[in-house]
Chains A and B, each alone.
Chain A
Amino acid sequence: GDKVKQSPSALSLQEGTNSALRCNFSIAATTVQWFLQNPRGSLMNLFYLVPGTKENGRLKSAFDSKESYSTLHIRDAQLEDSGTYFCAAEAADSNYQLIWGSGTKLIIKP
């Protein structure tokens, strides 16, 4: 099965609403990163997390290593939030390799 299971696979929201994306891990993740890939393909690093929580503007992310999951919350969604969100986990024995989720495609409608 997937070592990093990302949900939902796709999501469509009205502008101004809130959403939550999730990654569940079947590995012992030590760090988690969240990325946004825009329609042109560029990948932006949103968060680098050790266990705990980080916030940046309308985005908030949490990583619970004991319960093996991470979440990304988007508040007051804007059109520019559209794209594909990926999470990627590092494990203790990962040897410079991140283990990637399959992505959540988010569409924000005006």
Chain B
Amino acid sequence: AQTIHQWPVAEIKAVGSPLSLGCTIKGKSSPNLYWYWQATGGTLQQLFYSITVGQVESVVQLNLSASRPKDDQFILSTEKLLLSHSGFYLCAWSLRALYFGSGTRLTVL
């Protein structure tokens, strides 16, 4: 069975501080991987996708970056957080249907 583990569960960070969020997918070889962001009460905004190790495509520019260092790992990061980065971050994988991790709730103060 496939599992997706996302970390951390929640973060409270200061404006200007760095951030690193991660997820690991087990049980599937070479899935497509995605990062999504959701504002409180809002719809889902796709940030990045990756179809292979080492290749990441950006969908929107939000002063964030993503990397796929291993086939089963996807990292979201920034060197300087903004207040507007607050929200709910979700990692997801697909081969056809899309499956989400449990998310990271980020508060930037």
Contacts and interface: CB of A to CB of B under 8 A. Distances in A.
Interface string B95-108: 01111101101000
Interface in B72-109: 88, 90, 96-100, 102-103, 105
A100 B43 CA distance: 7
Interface stretch (A12-20, A41-49, A63-71, A75-83): A41-49
Contacts of A56: none
Interface size class, chain A = 10 to 19
| A33, A41, A45, A86 pick with most chain B CB within 10 angstroms | A41
Interface in A26-46: 31, 33, 35, 41-45
A86 B38 CA distance: 13
Interface string B8-52: 000000000000000000000000101000100001101001010
Given A41-B38, A41-B103, 19 more contacts: A33-B98, A35-B98, A41-B102, A42-B100, A42-B102, A42-B103, A43-B100, A43-B103, A45-B97, A45-B99, A48-B97, A86-B43, A88-B44, A88-B98, A96-B49, A96-B51, A96-B57, A98-B46, A98-B98
